[in-house]
Amino acid sequence: MDRLRAMEVFVKIIETGSLSGAAAQLHLANASVTTALRQLETRLGTILLQRTTRHIRITEEGADYYERCKAILAQTTEADAAVSGARLVLRGELHVEMPIAFGQLVLGPAMDNFAAQHPELRVIATLTNDVNNLIKRGIDVAVRMDEVETGELVVRPLFQSPHVLCAAPAFLARHGKPAHPREINPKRCMAFLSPPAGSPRDWVFRRANETHTVTPEGNLFFNSTEALMQTAARGTALIYVLDLLAERFCARGELVPLLDDWETDEQIFYAVYPKTRFTPAKVRAFIDFLLASMPASNRQSTQPIRIRRG
């Protein structure tokens, strides 16, 4: 059995959880799968799987080899499709990660479209605000905002979103609409609080040569933008959140955007993925989906940036 076929056998053993499962999917005899695995381990000089009569357990070396084999097989499939002109069918698994509010309010509701476009690709989306080592955790592509973790990564700016000052109609009925940032009462401002920072971010407004900064002094904070907007929609206070996230609340009339003739701080979103010689087709497809899901005016045209930090 050639080396590439042996890699395919090994990957199928891991994915099906058994030698017999791999044999069935690859239409091979059980003995052929056993022989291929034995020859692979002999050539590599290491044990890839610990086997008993009932169970198999992947070794540390086996886990590393499995990830490398998947990448090689994916590149081989892409190369064949490119040369033959055939439409590439994405298969396997795609592990994506994104900030919680962005996933809940913007991308999550559209993920079914991506899954429908690629029915043979298993998409696993994790929503988290933690920035950890995506390579060690097997994340194929992540959406990041402020921070990008260290490691050999490709960072691609995708789109940007300004902040928007908004409040519920009930709040505005009681307190009126501010016509200028200096009319904002800091004690009626409810802010996002990121635990590591320990203090709310300032709200910045710019117009021509003017710049005004408001530091929220309300007594209620959240580390969740969705909770912030849901609470503000009840008439609690003014909030300053990303326009991209507030769009649905404003479209339903639950929040009203204010001071739209002033510029605010902008947030750039990035796609981050491990640096490899060839970017996997599933990662390229997901990035294309990200770009298509965002308003055209928000998209970034910056080329991918390869970085190595730390």
The pLDDT tens digits for 1-10 are 688 888 888 8
Q: Is the pLDDT of residue 207 over 50?
A: yes
Q: Is the pLDDT of residue 302 over 60?
A: no
- pLDDT at res. 261: 94
Q: Is the pLDDT of residue 250 over 90?
A: yes
CA 131, CA 137: separation in Å to the nearest integer?
11
CA 8, CA 297: separation in Å to the nearest integer?
44
Are 142 and 124 contacting, i.e. CB atoms less than 8 angstroms apart? no
Q: Is the pLDDT of residue 135 over 80?
A: no
- Give the model's confidence band at 277: pLDDT under 50 very low, under 70 low, under 90 confident, else very high: low
Residue range 161-266, CATH number: 3.40.190.290
- Give the model's confidence band at 295: pLDDT under 50 very low, under 70 low, under 90 confident, else very high: low
Percentage of the chain surpassing pLDDT 70?
85
The pLDDT tens digits for 151-170 are 678 888 888 889 999 999 99
Are 255 and 189 contacting, i.e. CB atoms less than 8 angstroms apart? no
- Give the model's confidence band at 299: pLDDT under 50 very low, under 70 low, under 90 confident, else very high: very low
Whether 161-266 and 3-84 are alike in CATH topology: the answer is: no
Q: How much is the average pLDDT of 222-234?
A: 92
Residue range 3-84, CATH number: 1.10.10.10
Question: Of 42-46, 114-118, 120-124, 303-307, which range is least confident?
Answer: 303-307
- pLDDT at res. 137: 75
User: Domain coordinates of the chain in residue numbers?
Assistant: 3-84, 161-266
CA 182, CA 193: separation in Å to the nearest integer?
22
Query: Which H/E stretch holds residue 76?
Result: helix 60-84
